[in-house]
Amino acid sequence: MPNLLILGGTTEATALANAAAERGLRGTVSFAGRVDRPRRQPLPQRIGGFGGVEGLEAYLQDRGITHVIDATHPFAVQMSANAVMACSKADVPLIALTRPYWKEQPGDRWMQVTDIAGAVSALDQPPRRILLAIGRLHLADFAPNPQHHYLLRLVDPPKTPPPFPDHHMLVSRGPFTKADDSALMQDHGIDLVVSKNAGGTGAYAKIAAARALSLPVLMIDRPAMPERAEVGSVAEVLAWLDHAGSDLGV
Ligand code: NAP
Protein backbone atom coordinates (compact mmCIF):
# COMPACT_ATOMS: atom_id res chain seq x y z
CA MET A 1 0.00 0.00 0.00
CA PRO A 2 1.52 3.36 -1.01
CA ASN A 3 2.23 5.87 1.75
CA LEU A 4 2.67 9.33 0.22
CA LEU A 5 4.45 12.39 1.48
CA ILE A 6 3.11 15.50 -0.29
CA LEU A 7 5.28 18.57 0.26
CA GLY A 8 2.64 21.25 0.16
CA GLY A 9 1.75 24.88 0.63
CA THR A 10 0.18 25.36 -2.81
CA THR A 11 -3.21 24.95 -4.47
CA GLU A 12 -1.70 22.13 -6.55
CA ALA A 13 -0.74 20.23 -3.39
CA THR A 14 -4.28 20.59 -2.05
CA ALA A 15 -5.73 19.35 -5.36
CA LEU A 16 -3.41 16.36 -5.26
CA ALA A 17 -4.34 15.59 -1.64
CA ASN A 18 -8.02 15.67 -2.63
CA ALA A 19 -7.42 13.29 -5.53
CA ALA A 20 -5.32 10.95 -3.37
CA ALA A 21 -7.97 10.90 -0.64
CA GLU A 22 -10.69 10.16 -3.21
CA ARG A 23 -8.66 7.17 -4.35
CA GLY A 24 -8.33 6.00 -0.76
CA LEU A 25 -4.55 6.44 -0.79
CA ARG A 26 -2.63 6.82 2.44
CA GLY A 27 -0.49 9.91 2.83
CA THR A 28 0.54 13.04 4.69
CA VAL A 29 0.64 16.65 3.54
CA SER A 30 3.56 18.64 4.91
CA PHE A 31 3.60 22.40 5.48
CA ALA A 32 6.53 24.60 6.42
CA GLY A 33 4.33 26.55 8.81
CA ARG A 34 4.72 29.89 7.02
CA VAL A 35 1.03 30.81 7.25
CA ASP A 36 -0.81 30.87 10.54
CA ARG A 37 -3.73 28.71 9.36
CA PRO A 38 -2.89 26.38 6.47
CA ARG A 39 -5.84 25.23 4.36
CA ARG A 40 -7.51 22.09 5.74
CA GLN A 41 -6.41 19.00 3.89
CA PRO A 42 -8.32 15.78 3.23
CA LEU A 43 -5.25 13.81 4.36
CA PRO A 44 -3.41 13.99 7.69
CA GLN A 45 -1.06 16.96 7.85
CA ARG A 46 2.15 17.85 9.61
CA ILE A 47 3.65 21.29 10.08
CA GLY A 48 7.30 22.42 10.36
CA GLY A 49 10.69 21.72 8.82
CA PHE A 50 12.19 18.22 8.86
CA GLY A 51 15.66 19.36 9.89
CA GLY A 52 17.48 19.50 6.56
CA VAL A 53 18.35 16.57 4.30
CA GLU A 54 19.20 14.24 7.19
CA GLY A 55 15.96 15.05 8.99
CA LEU A 56 13.90 14.38 5.89
CA GLU A 57 15.77 11.15 5.13
CA ALA A 58 15.08 9.94 8.69
CA TYR A 59 11.40 10.96 8.38
CA LEU A 60 11.02 9.00 5.13
CA GLN A 61 12.53 5.91 6.70
CA ASP A 62 10.79 6.13 10.08
CA ARG A 63 7.34 6.65 8.53
CA GLY A 64 7.74 4.10 5.75
CA ILE A 65 7.11 6.70 3.03
CA THR A 66 6.89 5.01 -0.37
CA HIS A 67 6.59 8.09 -2.66
CA VAL A 68 7.36 11.80 -2.29
CA ILE A 69 5.54 14.41 -4.33
CA ASP A 70 7.13 17.84 -4.21
CA ALA A 71 4.22 20.22 -4.78
CA THR A 72 5.86 23.21 -3.08
CA HIS A 73 5.87 26.72 -4.50
CA PRO A 74 8.30 27.28 -7.39
CA PHE A 75 10.36 29.60 -5.18
CA ALA A 76 10.77 27.00 -2.41
CA VAL A 77 14.16 25.96 -3.75
CA GLN A 78 15.69 24.82 -0.46
CA MET A 79 12.91 22.35 0.27
CA SER A 80 13.00 21.05 -3.29
CA ALA A 81 16.77 20.56 -3.18
CA ASN A 82 16.52 18.78 0.17
CA ALA A 83 13.81 16.50 -1.22
CA VAL A 84 15.99 15.46 -4.17
CA MET A 85 18.90 14.60 -1.90
CA ALA A 86 16.92 12.90 0.87
CA CYS A 87 14.90 10.78 -1.57
CA SER A 88 18.06 9.72 -3.34
CA LYS A 89 19.68 8.71 -0.04
CA ALA A 90 16.58 6.91 1.23
CA ASP A 91 15.86 5.39 -2.20
CA VAL A 92 12.31 6.73 -2.29
CA PRO A 93 10.87 7.79 -5.68
CA LEU A 94 10.26 11.51 -6.03
CA ILE A 95 8.27 13.57 -8.49
CA ALA A 96 7.64 17.31 -8.62
CA LEU A 97 4.20 18.69 -9.45
CA THR A 98 4.96 22.03 -11.07
CA ARG A 99 3.13 24.78 -12.94
CA PRO A 100 4.24 26.60 -16.06
CA TYR A 101 5.71 30.03 -15.49
CA TRP A 102 3.87 33.11 -16.70
CA LYS A 103 4.87 34.46 -20.09
CA GLU A 104 4.65 38.07 -21.17
CA GLN A 105 1.47 38.71 -23.20
CA PRO A 106 0.70 41.51 -25.65
CA GLY A 107 -0.01 44.63 -23.60
CA ASP A 108 2.23 43.54 -20.69
CA ARG A 109 4.99 45.93 -19.62
CA TRP A 110 7.37 43.64 -17.78
CA MET A 111 10.87 44.24 -16.62
CA GLN A 112 12.36 40.86 -15.69
CA VAL A 113 14.97 40.42 -12.98
CA THR A 114 16.67 37.19 -11.99
CA ASP A 115 16.05 37.29 -8.25
CA ILE A 116 14.92 39.32 -5.25
CA ALA A 117 18.26 41.14 -5.10
CA GLY A 118 17.75 42.20 -8.73
CA ALA A 119 14.33 43.59 -7.86
CA VAL A 120 15.77 45.53 -4.92
CA SER A 121 18.46 47.07 -7.20
CA ALA A 122 15.86 47.96 -9.82
CA LEU A 123 13.89 49.89 -7.20
CA ASP A 124 16.81 52.21 -6.49
CA GLN A 125 14.95 55.07 -8.19
CA PRO A 126 12.79 58.07 -7.29
CA PRO A 127 9.64 57.39 -5.22
CA ARG A 128 6.92 55.24 -6.76
CA ARG A 129 3.65 53.78 -5.52
CA ILE A 130 4.33 50.04 -5.52
CA LEU A 131 2.18 46.96 -5.04
CA LEU A 132 4.75 44.66 -3.43
CA ALA A 133 3.22 41.20 -3.69
CA ILE A 134 6.12 38.95 -2.70
CA GLY A 135 5.09 37.45 0.65
CA ARG A 136 6.06 38.50 4.14
CA LEU A 137 9.33 36.53 4.28
CA HIS A 138 11.06 38.85 1.83
CA LEU A 139 9.81 42.24 2.99
CA ALA A 140 13.02 43.01 4.87
CA ASP A 141 15.03 42.60 1.65
CA PHE A 142 13.36 45.74 0.31
CA ALA A 143 14.48 47.94 3.22
CA PRO A 144 17.24 49.62 1.10
CA ASN A 145 14.52 51.50 -0.82
CA PRO A 146 12.41 53.24 1.86
CA GLN A 147 11.57 56.17 -0.47
CA HIS A 148 8.61 54.36 -2.07
CA HIS A 149 5.03 53.98 -0.94
CA TYR A 150 4.43 50.22 -0.61
CA LEU A 151 1.04 48.57 -0.78
CA LEU A 152 1.51 45.19 0.91
CA ARG A 153 -0.96 42.35 0.59
CA LEU A 154 -0.18 39.47 2.92
CA VAL A 155 -1.88 36.24 4.00
CA ASP A 156 -0.99 36.95 7.65
CA PRO A 157 0.32 40.07 9.37
CA PRO A 158 4.13 40.15 9.42
CA LYS A 159 5.85 39.11 12.68
CA THR A 160 7.78 42.38 12.72
CA PRO A 161 6.58 45.71 11.29
CA PRO A 162 7.54 46.24 7.63
CA PRO A 163 10.80 48.17 7.33
CA PHE A 164 9.24 51.00 5.28
CA PRO A 165 8.02 54.30 6.73
CA ASP A 166 5.40 54.70 4.00
CA HIS A 167 3.22 51.62 3.52
CA HIS A 168 -0.34 50.36 3.64
CA MET A 169 -0.96 46.75 4.63
CA LEU A 170 -3.87 44.51 3.61
CA VAL A 171 -4.20 41.10 5.21
CA SER A 172 -6.14 38.87 2.84
CA ARG A 173 -5.70 35.36 1.48
CA GLY A 174 -7.45 35.55 -1.88
CA PRO A 175 -8.02 34.25 -4.48
CA PHE A 176 -8.48 37.66 -6.12
CA THR A 177 -10.04 38.57 -9.44
CA LYS A 178 -8.70 40.88 -12.13
CA ALA A 179 -11.54 43.30 -11.29
CA ASP A 180 -10.62 43.24 -7.56
CA ASP A 181 -6.98 43.91 -8.30
CA SER A 182 -7.66 46.62 -10.90
CA ALA A 183 -9.84 48.45 -8.38
CA LEU A 184 -7.22 48.00 -5.65
CA MET A 185 -4.45 49.40 -7.83
CA GLN A 186 -6.55 52.35 -8.91
CA ASP A 187 -7.74 53.12 -5.37
CA HIS A 188 -4.13 53.22 -4.15
CA GLY A 189 -2.71 55.05 -7.17
CA ILE A 190 -0.28 52.19 -7.86
CA ASP A 191 2.24 52.85 -10.64
CA LEU A 192 4.39 49.70 -10.38
CA VAL A 193 3.73 46.05 -9.44
CA VAL A 194 6.48 43.80 -8.06
CA SER A 195 5.74 40.07 -8.39
CA LYS A 196 7.43 36.69 -8.38
CA ASN A 197 6.85 34.63 -11.49
CA ALA A 198 4.80 32.12 -9.52
CA GLY A 199 2.88 30.72 -12.49
CA GLY A 200 -0.55 29.13 -12.19
CA THR A 201 -3.86 30.88 -11.82
CA GLY A 202 -4.06 31.60 -8.08
CA ALA A 203 -1.87 34.70 -8.08
CA TYR A 204 -2.35 35.84 -11.69
CA ALA A 205 -5.08 38.46 -11.15
CA LYS A 206 -2.61 41.23 -10.34
CA ILE A 207 -0.69 40.55 -13.56
CA ALA A 208 -3.87 40.69 -15.66
CA ALA A 209 -4.94 43.83 -13.80
CA ALA A 210 -1.57 45.51 -14.42
CA ARG A 211 -1.96 44.73 -18.14
CA ALA A 212 -5.48 46.16 -18.21
CA LEU A 213 -4.25 49.35 -16.52
CA SER A 214 -1.04 49.44 -18.61
CA LEU A 215 1.09 49.39 -15.48
CA PRO A 216 4.69 48.15 -15.47
CA VAL A 217 5.50 44.91 -13.62
CA LEU A 218 8.88 44.11 -12.11
CA MET A 219 8.82 40.32 -12.57
CA ILE A 220 11.16 38.18 -10.51
CA ASP A 221 12.29 35.01 -12.33
CA ARG A 222 12.13 31.63 -10.66
CA PRO A 223 15.21 30.15 -9.03
CA ALA A 224 16.83 27.19 -10.79
CA MET A 225 15.63 23.86 -9.43
CA PRO A 226 17.74 20.72 -9.08
CA GLU A 227 17.31 18.06 -11.73
CA ARG A 228 14.31 15.87 -10.96
CA ALA A 229 11.30 14.29 -12.65
CA GLU A 230 8.51 16.82 -13.10
CA VAL A 231 4.88 16.66 -14.22
CA GLY A 232 2.31 19.40 -14.64
CA SER A 233 -0.96 17.85 -13.48
CA VAL A 234 -2.52 15.82 -10.71
CA ALA A 235 -3.55 13.20 -13.27
CA GLU A 236 0.09 12.69 -14.24
CA VAL A 237 1.07 12.27 -10.59
CA LEU A 238 -1.62 9.60 -10.19
CA ALA A 239 -0.39 7.86 -13.32
CA TRP A 240 3.16 7.99 -11.94
CA LEU A 241 1.95 6.45 -8.67
CA ASP A 242 0.50 3.57 -10.67
CA HIS A 243 3.86 2.90 -12.32
CA ALA A 244 6.29 4.68 -10.00
CA GLY A 245 9.88 4.27 -10.81
CA SER A 246 9.47 2.79 -14.27
CA ASP A 247 8.23 5.16 -16.95
CA LEU A 248 9.46 8.59 -15.91
CA GLY A 249 13.10 7.84 -15.42
CA VAL A 250 12.87 7.98 -11.61
P1 NAP B 1 12.29 27.00 1.27
O2 NAP B 1 13.10 28.26 1.42
O3 NAP B 1 12.58 26.14 0.11
O4 NAP B 1 12.39 26.12 2.58
C5 NAP B 1 13.12 26.49 3.75
C6 NAP B 1 12.92 25.41 4.78
O7 NAP B 1 11.56 25.39 5.22
C8 NAP B 1 13.17 24.01 4.26
O9 NAP B 1 14.56 23.69 4.25
C10 NAP B 1 12.37 23.19 5.24
O11 NAP B 1 13.01 23.13 6.50
C12 NAP B 1 11.14 24.06 5.44
N13 NAP B 1 10.07 23.74 4.51
C14 NAP B 1 9.75 24.34 3.33
N15 NAP B 1 8.67 23.80 2.79
C16 NAP B 1 8.28 22.81 3.62
C17 NAP B 1 7.21 21.88 3.62
N18 NAP B 1 6.28 21.88 2.63
N19 NAP B 1 7.12 21.01 4.66
C20 NAP B 1 8.02 21.01 5.66
N21 NAP B 1 9.06 21.88 5.73
C22 NAP B 1 9.18 22.76 4.72
O23 NAP B 1 10.74 27.32 1.24
P24 NAP B 1 9.94 28.68 1.47
O25 NAP B 1 10.19 29.56 0.30
O26 NAP B 1 10.26 29.17 2.84
O27 NAP B 1 8.47 28.16 1.39
C28 NAP B 1 7.90 27.44 2.49
C29 NAP B 1 6.56 26.85 2.10
O30 NAP B 1 5.68 27.88 1.69
C31 NAP B 1 6.64 25.84 0.95
O32 NAP B 1 5.95 24.70 1.39
C33 NAP B 1 5.97 26.51 -0.22
O34 NAP B 1 5.20 25.63 -0.99
C35 NAP B 1 5.09 27.57 0.45
N36 NAP B 1 5.03 28.83 -0.33
C37 NAP B 1 6.16 29.47 -0.67
C38 NAP B 1 6.08 30.63 -1.42
C39 NAP B 1 7.35 31.34 -1.85
O40 NAP B 1 7.23 32.36 -2.57
N41 NAP B 1 8.52 30.89 -1.49
C42 NAP B 1 4.85 31.14 -1.80
C43 NAP B 1 3.69 30.45 -1.43
C44 NAP B 1 3.81 29.29 -0.68
P45 NAP B 1 13.95 21.88 6.93
O46 NAP B 1 15.23 22.08 6.20
O47 NAP B 1 14.06 22.03 8.41
O48 NAP B 1 13.23 20.63 6.52
R_g of the chain, CA atoms, integer Å: 19
Atom of ligand 1 nearest to the CA of 80: 3
Predicted pLDDT of residue 250? 44
- Confirm or reject: Cβ of 78 under 6 Å from ligand 1: yes
Whether the pTM exceeds 0.75: the reply is yes
Question: Distance, CA 71 to ligand 1 centroid (Å)?
Answer: 10
Alpha carbons 242 and 116: distance in angstroms, whole number: 39
| 77 ligand 1 Cβ < 6 A | yes
The pLDDT, as a whole number, for residue 137 is 87
174 contact partners, CB below 8 Å, separation of at least 6:
202, 203, 205
For atom 6 of ligand 1, which residue has the closest CA? 79
pLDDT of residue 39: 76
CB of 34 closer than 6 A to ligand 1? yes
Q: Looking at ligand 1, which residue's alpha carbon is closest to its atom 9?
A: 79
Which of 57, 72, 115 for mutating ligand 1's site (highest number of atoms within 8 Å of CB)?
72
Nearest atom (ligand 1) to Cα of 196? 40
pLDDT per residue rounded down to tens, the chain (250 residues): 899 999 999 999 999 999 999 999 999 999 999 887 777 889 999 999 999 999 999 999 999 999 999 999 999 999 999 999 999 999 999 999 999 999 999 999 999 999 999 999 999 999 999 999 998 889 999 999 999 999 999 988 888 899 999 999 999 888 899 999 999 999 999 999 999 999 988 899 999 999 999 999 999 999 999 999 999 999 999 999 998 754 444 4
- Ligand 1 center to residue 76 CA distance, Å? 5
The domains found in the chain, sorted by start residue, are: 3-100+225-248 (3.40.50.720), 110-220 (3.40.50.150)
82 lines ligand 1 (CB under 6 A): yes
Q: Which residues contact 24 (CB under 8 A, 6 or more apart)?
A: none
